[in-house]
Chain A
Amino acid sequence: MESWGVGETWGVDHQRLARGAIRNLSYFALACLVVLTPPLVAADRRATQNTIPQVELINNALQSQWDAYGLTPAPDEEDQKWCRRVFLDLIGRIPSRGETQEFVADKGDRRRNLVVRLLNDDEYAAEFANHWATIWSNLLIGRSGGNDRNSMVSRAGMNKYLRDSFATNKPYNQMVFELLTASGTTEPGTDDFNGATNFLIDKVNMENGTLATSSTSRIFLGLQVQCTQCHNHPFNEWKQQKFWEFNAFFRQTRALRRFVPGTREIAYGQLIDQDFAGDGGQPQEAEIYYEERNGLTRIAYPVFVDGTEIGRNGYVGEVNRRRELAKLLLTSEYLDRMIVNRMWAHFLGYGFTRPLDDLGPHNTPSHPELLNSLGSELRNSSYDLRMLMMWITLSKPYQLSSRINSKNESDDPSLGEAPQFSHFYIRQMSAEQLYQSLVLVGGEMDGSLEQQQQERDRWLSQFVVAFGTDEGDEATTFNGSIPQALMMFNGELARRATRSSGNGWLGQVLANPTSFSEKVNLLFQAGLSRSPTRDELGIASNLLRARDGKVIEALEDLWWAVLNSNEFILVQ
């Protein structure tokens, strides 16, 4: 298994990565003229200018709708709370006490400086890459991807590919191209390994690749086509014919099972392209058949959503259908809008549409012009995702407090209204954010990086419920219900975090030569990024009395309460 986490030496193999990119992407390098400006430098340069035009773009668009709806935006969030927010969103954990102090002590443009640091500093590079690789793994292969015995997915392989991509700030369009055109094996350490194959490996064999079809169009283009597989959808402009035309792009692709030697146990998979003879057995005109509801059989050839046809030849040497699809996909404006909408929803809690991955014409966005122009800006910035992250995290709506007041209480998307982002919408941490945050404040376990990775995966898997259907549907029980509360009350991780072993985190707080109330203050600063209130200080000293003056036991009780609170688990 791949080691990971702090201290991993990713990024040293730039040359190999670059070679791989060129091999996979001659199309890119030659036809697309992607300017591989070192993105970190670019981000720094922009950040030192006074205003960032894309931030102005966002601010103006939001302001005009606030005016139109008669909303007064909330004031900016308190600095410490905002610092916690941006740490959680950008690198997936709460800040340490020292990091918060450093932020507050910054006399310059501290918010901008912090964003630039989190995006670009070596100190955070591993955490940044891990955080985004986790998010994208969950998106591309699901939380349960690779857990099933029959699965060819390697979670480690998917993660490795994505970590490398985010660590090197790979342009988004290049990443999409690689995910769609990848061939090779799924498992790190095997011959011909290519982690990008994990996206499609479990999606192409069953039912003629219908899952590859619906996932690709939904995840990258925001077009929901799964229902049109069987019938013309009544509320959707997509027709059944279009579904199968899109599907025809995947018919050369096969996933081959690779077994553990001497057994029938699947070890990993290999994704290949092979000649496709077509359902009619004529490779020069490789057509596919599908059945309408009335029983009529119809024919489809590869045609992109915008109506562009490609050659019908089924020989891979003549027409590589996946490659053609990837090229067409990169020309689509849906690609731009979808990634902007996804990123916006990540930071602001809601996308411009609901669901965020349904951008069809039937689903009007809350801020249509902003969505379009941010899409163009991203395209013009060579799909630099860190740039997009910076625009959003420095924009006005991301600065706002989550406190609701009478001037903006009508802006409540949980009621089904379109979000106006006039105050920050609180939301629960993801299971991954919670885990990484608890690790920071005492939940770390001993053992090698590999053991820690396994422990994390095991912990995360307890929340996944797979429905066992062909479509790989799943749900999470990390949803604020009783089992989650029990896990925080009593679970092993929470116990580790609230137990005071000698050199553990609580032990260090104890050893700190300060007064009890200063120790209490440390706990509140670390967990909630604020000082305790008078009530809280009062109950802390009551705890100390109830524990017969045993400071460590009182701190355990108090820390347990802090970690179990709504204020801890909510991103504010």
Chain B
Amino acid sequence: MHWSLMPTPRGMSRRHFMQHAMGAASMASAAFAMGNSVRVHAQELKRQGKAAILLWMSGGPATIDLWDLKPGAPTGGPFRPINTSGDVQICEHLPTIAKQMHNLTVVRSMSTREADHARGRYYMHTGYVPNPNIEHPSYGAVISHELMRDEFSLEIPPFISIGGASEGPGFLGMSWAPFNVSSDGQIRNLEMGLSDQRLMQRMFTLQVIENGFVAQNRGSAAVDHQKVLKKTFDLITSQQMKAFDVKSEPDSAKALYGDTGFGRGCLLARRLVEAGVPFVEVELGGWDNHQNIHTTLQNQKLPELDQAMGGLMIDLEQRGLLEKTVVIWMGEFGRTPTINGNAGRDHWAKSWSVVLGGGGIRTGIAIGETDDEGRAVVSTPYTAEDLMTSVCKALGISLETTFQSKNGRPMKIAGGGKLIEGIFA
């Protein structure tokens, strides 16, 4: 019997249970003799380590209208730039973020090649272009995998995606898959409606069937299933689940982030990072603005983004989390400098911006520049690999890290990118 995949011991009653369980002769009787609660009182452990929050702008935002304005140019659009608390100007419709720009840096010299949604999403999330023979791990999988190496106290998933699907764990395996929740923190099917004891006995029975099947050597899917079961069991019995209870936040916190889905998502992200989750992604969709882009941005997207992201930066700083937490703002690509016949902008990967902050990154500046109309990068161009490499560095992850893909091929972390120059002091 392989009991190694049973729940990690993390409190007296479960450890007690496990010791009995591992004695082969007594395995069954121990399981049924146990009457104590499995809901152990795990001590409140605050992560000492670092974390990352990715604000994912699904659809490809027009960074030329947000972070790299071209007032007066034919491509410029109607928005005006304003001064900020940093040495950089941004869009007038982002006034809250403008006051936080001393904690943020705009990289204006992103130049990538993938301008299709699916390919761009994959590339920006993994640092690799899609390849039919291999699935690469995404930011959340890579970062939680690396930051969780010596971390045994976290019982909830280390990679949480709020309000969107994120990208998968690739060859790191399903146990590093994103855990998807909605922005109100509700998790479906969580309540068992069973006594702890009966739940434990069911789990035990399940484990016997699972092990029997794994022993038949029919492939890795059987083992993956077992790992996910363990994580699920950890989750439903964990005290740390209260981190998802975003409703318990005071009204002042909700007001700070704004009463929007993305606002609640950012607030939830802060709670999760505080609870020790190393990677959280929050999605804000609706940036695929092929028509009437400026009306949509001014009336809908920018106010929602401004308050939520601005609120997040304020909150992280006030709670002393900013030094440890890297914030990344990006989409799958930018949008065309040329405004099309429908008053929209189309997909554009050649010259666009991302925003970074926290985690010891040098902030309050803009790195790189585009030409007068925003059509080309005129400084050193940066790629998804370079961005991911820089984020890993900020999190203290070794850039020498190499993964073994399933077929034994070595894969460099972050696609072997280079550091964005000037981003570290």
Contact = CB atoms under 8 A, between A and B. Distances in A.
A281 interface: no
B179 A483 contact: yes
B218 A480 contact: no
A557 B31 CA distance: 14
Interface stretch (A109-117, A144-152, A373-381, A468-476): A468-476
A490 B191 contact: yes
Contact of B205 (A404, A427, A473, A543): A543
A294 B204 CA distance: 64
Contacts of A230: 115, 347
Contact of A481 (B58, B174, B209, B409): B174
Interface string A399-434: 000111100000000111100000001111000000
A354 B132 contact: yes
B206 A561 contact: yes
Interface string B186-211: 01111111000110011011101110
B4 interface: no
A345 interface: no
A350 to B, nearest CB: 11
Contacts of B59: 468-469
Interface stretch (B41-49, B226-234, B314-322): B226-234
A403 B409 CA distance: 25
A23 B285 CA distance: 45
A572 B409 CA distance: 28
A11 to B, nearest CB: 37
A208 interface: no
B218 A402 contact: yes
A414 B220 contact: yes
A409 to B, nearest CB: 9
Interface string B166-190: 0010000010011110000001111
B205 A558 contact: yes
A452 interface: no
Contacts of A561: 202, 205-206, 208-209
B116 A227 contact: yes
B375 to A, nearest CB: 11
B252 interface: no
A102 interface: no
B174 A468 contact: no
B222 A570 contact: yes
Contacts of A227: 116, 119
A121 interface: no
Given A480-B174, A561-B205, A566 B191 contact: no
A538 B27 CA distance: 11
A570 B221 contact: yes
Contacts of B58: 467-469
B343 interface: no
B405 interface: yes
Contact of B28 (A417, A473, A539, A564): A539
Given A227-B116, A542-B28, A567 B213 contact: yes
B219 A402 contact: yes
B23 to A, nearest CB: 15
A243 B83 CA distance: 46
20 contacts: A230-B115, A414-B406, A416-B407, A426-B222, A462-B188, A469-B58, A469-B288, A471-B118, A480-B174, A482-B177, A482-B235, A486-B189, A486-B232, A490-B191, A546-B32, A562-B209, A565-B210, A566-B213, A567-B210, A570-B213
Interface of B: 28-29, 31-32, 58-59, 115-119, 121, 132-134, 157, 164-165, 168, 174, 177-180, 187-193, 197-198, 201-202, 204-206, 208-210, 212-214, 216-222, 224-226, 228-229, 231-232, 235-236, 285-286, 288, 290, 347, 405-409
The 9 residue pairs across chains A and B that have the minimum distance between CB atoms:
A566-B225, A415-B407, A561-B205, A561-B206, A490-B189, A485-B232, A486-B189, A567-B213, A416-B133
Interface of A: 207, 226-227, 230, 354-355, 358, 363, 402-405, 414-417, 425-428, 462, 465, 467-471, 473, 475, 477, 479-487, 489-491, 528, 533, 535-536, 538-540, 542-543, 545-546, 557-558, 560-562, 564-567, 569-570, 572
